[in-house]
Amino acid sequence: MIKILIVDDEKPILDLIDMNLTAAGYSCVAVQDGLAAIDAVEKDTFDLVLLDIMLPGADGYDVMEYIRPYKVPVIFISAKHEVKDRVRGLKLGADDYLIKPFDVTELLARVEAVLRRYNKTDKVIMLGDVEIDMEARRVTRSGSPVSLTSKEFDLMLLFVENRNVALFRENLYERVWDDEYFANSRTLDLHVQRLRRKLGWEHNLVAVYKVGYRLEVSQ
């Protein structure tokens, strides 16, 4: 399982990130100061670090410099939004820089993008009787092949990567169809209906009122 270290001194934000990453299937360790982050990296192996900048003990820039020899990918998450702050973080070796406040869907997408870059994503995912081979873009259910169109697979993958998180219709249209959302369009709903039927997700892929859809799976 992918293991992520979350470093933020604001507990509500720390808990929000931890909750959503855990719901998305990641294993998380959360700490609230820079020295604790350094200690965690020295004692354990992580696939990714989400690092705030304004921290007690040692700030995010100092932590970044210290852990750089460990060659662990880092995404800065900070309220420091000026260009000079982002440039400094990226020059220190960070892989991405996300500005607070952020959308959870964007956070999950950036996490997945960085993990993909380092070939750290789980190539095969099991959800109940559904097995998804990400690399081969192949799906089986109870051992039998499931035929999905390209768009159905992309939509399913988006739900799987953001499981237990409500996804807005607008974001789904933009990510899967690379198109603007039109309120009267039924394209998304029809694709969701087909995924429910083909994958047996009638009770898992649920509509969220005035938002969109959420894939509900037990951890």
Asked if the domains at 3-117 and 124-215 fall in one CATH topology, the answer is no
- Return the higher-pLDDT residue of 174 and 204: 204
Tokens read off for 2: 């992918």
For the chain, which residues make up each domain, given as ranges?
3-117, 124-215
- 3-117: CATH homologous superfamily? Response regulator (3.40.50.2300)
pTM: 0.65
Mean residue pLDDT of the chain comes to 91
The CATH number of 124-215 is 1.10.10.10
Burial of 60: CB neighbours in 10 Å, binned 0-12, 13-18, 19+:
buried
Which pLDDT value is given to residue 213?
95
Write down the residue that tokens 């990130």 correspond to. Answer: 17
Q: Residue 21: enclosing H or E segment and its boundaries? A: helix 11-23
The amino acid present at 109, given as its one-letter code, is: A
Which pLDDT value is given to residue 180?
67
- Reduce the DSSP state of residue 136 to 3 states and report it: coil
Which pLDDT value is given to residue 62?
95
Alpha-carbon distance of 169 to 146, in angstroms, equals 25
Q: Residue 198: enclosing H or E segment and its boundaries? A: helix 187-199
pLDDT digits (tens, 9 = 90+) for 135-192: 788 999 999 999 999 999 999 999 998 888 899 998 898 888 887 666 677 899 999 9
